[in-house]
Amino acid sequence: MIKNDELFIFCDGGSRGNPGPAAAAGVIKNAAGKTRVLCGKYLGIATNNQAEYAAVELALQKIKENIRDVNEIRFYLDSKLVVNQLSGLYKTKDNRLREAGLRIRMLENGLGKIYYQHISREKNQEADQLVNEVLNTGTNIQRVFNE
């Protein structure tokens, strides 16, 4: 297992059509900016918002599987809606998104402080490229980099 005190997660989800074939991806970096985990998952048919939630859920699962001693996690997403819902600023009315939010809250347990921040698409290109790779190939991706 990799040890990291602070993590920076760049997440993205995408759907070709809305709904349509969808994928989720996450790029997990340490405080020095070094990539620790790349992950991507093909979702089948989903909406853009469902894919964005799935990206956060996927990243949290990979953190639990591969990284220990985490005190702080900062998520960066280009979906303002998902950031505001997960930060508690907006209510989540859609049942599927609310269920995904509950799964995310369960995964957050024991991981320290977690923050969600909106960023522009230009600053989220690595996660976006990963989403497109998964959509183009239809295969899941997981790469873990040890120090």
Strand positions, DSSP E, the chain: 2-3, 6-15, 20-30, 35-46, 67-68, 72-77, 113-118, 141-144
Task: Read off the pTM.
Answer: 0.96
Q: In the chain, what are the domains? A: 2-141 (3.30.420.10)
pLDDT digit string (tens) for the chain, length 147 residues: 666 689 999 999 999 999 999 999 999 999 999 999 999 999 999 999 999 999 999 999 999 999 888 999 999 999 999 999 999 999 999 999 999 999 999 999 999 999 999 999 999 999 999 999 999 999 999 999 986
Q: Degrees (nearest 5) of the Cα angle 78, 30, 139?
A: 60
User: How far is Cα 42 from Cα 32, in angstroms, rounded to an integer?
Assistant: 29
